[in-house]
Structure 1
Amino acid sequence: MTTMTRTTAASLLAMMLAAPVMAQTTITGVRDVNDRIDDINEVVDEDFARSEDAARFGNPETRPGLTGSASIGYSGKTGNNESQELSAGVRLSYTQGNFVQTLGAALDFAEDQDRKTKEDILAVYDANLYFDQSLYGFVLARIEADGLANTAGDVRRDAFLGFGPGYRVINTPDMTWRLQAGIGVSYLEDGLRNSVTETGYLAASRFYYRINDGIFLTNDTDILSSDAALRVNNDLGVNFRVTDAVSTRISYVTEYNDSRAIRSDNKLGVSLVFGF
């Protein structure tokens, strides 16, 4: 047998052995385990991402003009039960000089046995006008819609629009702190078409402090006050880079709402990433 023949035979054998393994990952449950590992990695990545801030050291740089991305997914099932799901998402950004706008939207529709089980629409809008490296103005808008809401306990429409100024109080390589405050209007409609509109006041703080080359601290605070309730969310986190291959984040998140019987919910999180 020549070298080329042996190589070809080995390649064919490898393909024959590999094909059944790939085909069996779903039915044997191997894919479920791998998907679960991916889910864990995603949760940890999201925890670390909370410490990131594109506007931490100055106005974020964006490409002039229109940029963005979109995705769509569909699945349908027949047999013992019939169902179908459709999901779509889009994120757009438009930059013109010192004026930056972003728009994001997501759609989720589902049917099971010819009965609608999901009809959700979500959209957010964010605009920033940068006057200089310290002072800027912002606009925030959000809407969530549930097309299947039909009871007083369901939320059919939930929307918010707010605007105001922001200012960078401190901006050094080791410490940054910026504040923003504004006024907004919220709209809430239940499944019976009963609605409530109220004025709210919002404030936010973003603080960063680098202790040394391997440790930094972040503290993000968001406040929304209205006739219905005072809501405060605070996310305190410390990131450690133990080595080039080991990173840790410890966070403490507090969610306060004075309209609840138990006003505060607190969560301690510890995330550890190894690379080797």
Structure 2
Amino acid sequence: MGVFIQNPPSQPPRLPNIEWTYSVVGRFFDFAPSNTSFITNIVNNHWITRGSIRILRTGDYFIFECQDPRDCDAILNRHTSVIDGKLMTFRSSFANQVPSSINFSLATIWVRIHNLPWRFLEHEWTAKILSHVGVVEVVEDTGPGLPHEAFLRAKILVDLTRPLIPGCFMPLDDGQVVWVYFRYEGVFKFCKQCGCVGHHTGHCPMSAYDVHHLIHRRFSEFEHDGLTLMFGPIETPLYTNLIRGLPDRFVYRNARVDLTRFVPAHDPYVFGERHV
């Protein structure tokens, strides 16, 4: 129960004028978001855009107001980026939307499959192996023959609120199995207790009891889907340093983004309705 406020203030609040039609909202999946000036510097120097992008911040939310609407579409199409070693997801929004109602937990991440036997280094195995990790969107085509690097790679849609899957077992011809592990590109901050991104083990907000049930529920879902679970030695930790992104260098901590590669459907600049 509460009162209904009908009459707006006589003087509107002094908020910046935002063109929401050409804006997207981003949020870091991290306990320590980067500051606005750093993000602005990355966008200006590491993003290839069609026009300028103004960045505004309120709380943990960052508004990217694009001068060119095609840049806005391209950011939404990209969905996820890595800035300062932290994953940021992008969503569309509008002036009357409540920020807390937007779900930023779904992210697109490139995942590598390492330690595969020779006969599994084939394009068709990528989607099969990673289908239980998330929704496979793009499988990297390695072409004919052996891949350039001895691993498979795909872009998948994952829920960052759930523990990452460290790897899986693969059968061999002699009845034995081999463990293959996953490397999540763009994941530089990872908890080896709960298996989630966005914080280190020493700052995990969950108790050991909650972590046990979270991970147990995650792997129980595989059994419900008819998959067989295998367990390694008891003293072996489930989550290790093998779950990490690329080497911790500036170029990998701040993804270079080319927004001009994305061409929206019915782009008037492409189909002749406008001239530049």
- Normalising by structure 1, we get a TM-score of 0.25
Identify the structure with the greater helix proportion: 2
Identify the structure with the greater strand proportion: 1
- Normalising by structure 2, we get a TM-score of 0.25
